[in-house]
Amino acid sequence: MSKCVINNLLQIFKSSISAVLPEKLINNVVQFDPKSEQLSIAGESFSLLNKNLYVIGTGKAVQNMAKEVEKIFGPKIKHGIISIPYGSSCNFTVDGNVIYYEGAQNNLPDANAQATASKVKNLAKQLSNDDILLVLISGGGSALLPLPKEPITLEEKTEIVRKLANAGADITELNTVRKKLSDLKGGQLAIIAQPALVISLILSDIVGDPLDLIASGPTTENKDHQNAAVDIIQKYNLYDQLPNSIKLILGNKNNLETFPRHKVKNLIIGSNKLSIDAAVNECKTLNYSAIPLSNAVTGNVKDIAKKYVKLSKLLCDFMENLIGKEELKDQLLCLDIPGSNNHIDNICDLEISASHVCLILGGEITVEVKGYGKGGRNQQLALEFSNNINETKDNFQNFDVYLLSAGTDGIDGPTDAAGAIGYIDLVPYAKNENIDICKYLTNNDSYNFYKSFDKGLMHVKTSHTNTNVMDIHIILIIKK
């Protein structure tokens, strides 16, 4: 695999991150005039005259969101509490009004994050009608704001979420359960903060941008059915394994306190679509025919890997004039990649003479964990893709095909990698290094495969990006 191709793939991915850096997004929507004390958010005005401004933040992207908010409002902020990931390297100077707390090591709720969540609840409880609460939310906010309903312990809540994730539950299902078991999620933070005005600025990390599920919706009305969490737990045959504390809370009726809709404003300021648009533009600068196909990819990693191989084969057949546009369109519809049907015309507009094609997709897939290895969904996808395309390698004799899959937050599972690169010749090269790819796939040990393979060059490592809008999948097809 050429070093030039690796660099191009990384350049495209990094451009997708740059587009959703929190400081850019905040400045796009927030303006404040200190003389008139008028706040404008996405064109809507609020008076801060004789008002106290408080700030709360939770998520992988809120460090730089909060940093920018501090620059905009300065001493107008009376107090702020920001919950950021462990290892965020929060070294910038603050004036003491806004305090940053690290927690949730390896993206898992922990005692530090729980202590911060308690501070957040106490702050919200003290607010009055003369206060405005600005809430900054991004993906990862669930782990960074854990406050289980009593008598549930943090360990008990974390364990059921872990079991659900390992059983293949998607982010919607996980956050539905989290909301039911939490003191702040599912709109509870907004309720506790009354009678203050609550304004939330949100970076979406969930397909479809559902406000009630991003960071488990601390400022969004919870409209889940009474038995939704129980149904999900039963779906994965985990109910009988629950401790009595969780069964007790699951059996309680939802909080009957009316959600203060007229006192809460929720605004999404960044999403996966923005990242994909930026990646497409970067592809064009590199002279690739760029095709945005979906920002809503979900499903099991094994299924998605197979679909991506079939998608690549269809493009290769079209580029060799083996199928026409109508057959291409029909086959793509049958392939049914989540979120792609409304964008298939983007592929069908491709000129048959194209020799360098780059498909850009985004979303968040799941891994059913059966082994004891180390990895994440993006590294697993790159490895599964490489294995699958190798099995049909004879169908790609005139092409090189690559897949970069990585998380925009820079973190893939409990690892220091954002993701990895897979390609058509990876398996033969691995065999040359006496590496058994099937062993690593079976043990869900994609991280250690990529650490060992090719001196680690196929790992995508960015460290914490301080943003989070799900994952980016880049499929590059080059005609020889």
Sorted by where each begins, the domain ranges of the chain are 3-13+273-479, 21-270
Of 15, 19, 271, 44, the closest CA to residue 138 belongs to: 271
The single-letter DSSP state of residue 257 is: S
Q: Is 445 helix (H, G, I), strand (E, B) or coil?
A: coil
Higher pLDDT, 257 or 442: 442
3-state helix, strand, coil in the chain (%, to 5): 45, 20, 35
State yes or no: pLDDT of 89 exceeds 90.
no
Q: Which amino acid is residue 36, in one-letter code?
A: S
Q: What is the mean pLDDT of residues 274-301?
A: 96
Q: Which amino acid is residue 349, in one-letter code?
A: D
∠ at Cα 359 (300, 464), nearest 5°? 65
Pairing of strands 44-47, 38-41: antiparallel
Residue 82 exposure: Cα atoms within 13 Å on the Cβ side? 29
Q: What is the mean pLDDT of the chain?
A: 94
Round to whole Å and give the CA distance between 408 and 147.
Answer: 26
Round to whole Å and give the CA distance between 96 and 306.
Answer: 52
Q: Is the dihedral of CA 330, 331, 336, 342 positive or negative?
A: negative
Residues 225-245 have pLDDT tens digits of 989 999 999 999 999 999 999
- Residue 255 has a pLDDT of 54
Question: Which tokens go with 457?
Answer: 């060059």
Round to whole Å and give the CA distance between 79 and 358.
Answer: 46
pLDDT tier, 252 (very low <50, low <70, confident <90, very high otherwise): confident
Question: Which tokens go with 444?
Answer: 């869900």
- Residue 351 has a pLDDT of 84
Contacts by 432-440 with C-beta closer than 8 Å and gap 24+?
Answer: 437/383, 437/386, 437/387, 438/387, 440/373, 440/383
Instruction: Please say whether the beta carbons of 356 and 287 come within 8 A.
Output: yes
In order of 17, 239, 277, 478, 479, the CA distances from 282 in angstroms are 12, 48, 9, 17, 20
Of 480, 434, 307, 404, the closest CA to residue 17 belongs to: 404
Instruction: Please say whether the beta carbons of 386 and 426 come within 8 A.
Output: yes
Of 364, 360, 336, the closest CA to residue 346 belongs to: 360
Q: Is 411 helix (H, G, I), strand (E, B) or coil?
A: coil
pLDDT tier, 91 (very low <50, low <70, confident <90, very high otherwise): low
Pairing of strands 197-203, 264-270: parallel
pLDDT tier, 248 (very low <50, low <70, confident <90, very high otherwise): very high
Question: Which tokens go with 205?
Answer: 């990390």
- Residue 53 has a pLDDT of 97
Instruction: Please say whether the beta carbons of 392 and 309 come within 8 A.
Output: yes
* Cis amide linkage into residue 151, ω under 30° from 0: yes
The percent of residues in the chain predicted with pLDDT above 70, rounded, is 98
- Residue 349 has a pLDDT of 86
State yes or no: pLDDT of 274 exceeds 80.
yes
Task: Kindly state the helix (H) or strand (E) to which residue 386 belongs, with its residue range.
Answer: helix 377-391
Q: Is 447 helix (H, G, I), strand (E, B) or coil?
A: helix
Round to whole Å and give the CA distance between 13 and 283.
Answer: 10
Contacts of 121 (CB under 8 A, 6+ apart): 147, 183, 184, 189, 192
Residues 359-408 have pLDDT tens digits of 999 999 999 889 999 999 999 999 999 999 999 999 999 999 999 999 99
Pairing of strands 77-85, 197-203: unpaired
- Residue 352 has a pLDDT of 76
- Residue 95 has a pLDDT of 57
Strand partners, 55: 80, 134
* Residue 7 CB neighbour total at 10 angstroms: 11
Round to whole Å and give the CA distance between 401 and 44.
Answer: 47
**The CATH number of domain 21-270 is 3.40.50.10180:** yes
Residues 169-179 have pLDDT tens digits of 988 899 899 99
Residues 31-77 have pLDDT tens digits of 999 999 999 998 899 999 999 999 999 998 999 999 999 999 999 99
Residues 433-474 have pLDDT tens digits of 999 999 999 999 999 999 999 999 999 999 888 888 999 999
Round to whole Å and give the CA distance between 112 and 114.
Answer: 5
Q: What is the mean pLDDT of residues 8-28?
A: 96
Q: What is the mean pLDDT of residues 162-186?
A: 92
Q: What is the CA radius of gyration of the chain?
A: 23
Residues 302-328 have pLDDT tens digits of 999 999 999 999 999 999 999 999 999
Class of domain 3-13+273-479: alpha beta
3-13+273-479 and 21-270: identical CATH topology: no
Contacts of 96 (CB under 8 A, 6+ apart): none
Q: Which amino acid is residue 223, in one-letter code?
A: K
Q: What is the mean pLDDT of residues 333-357?
A: 90
- Residue 170 has a pLDDT of 86
Round to whole Å and give the CA distance between 470 and 312.
Answer: 22
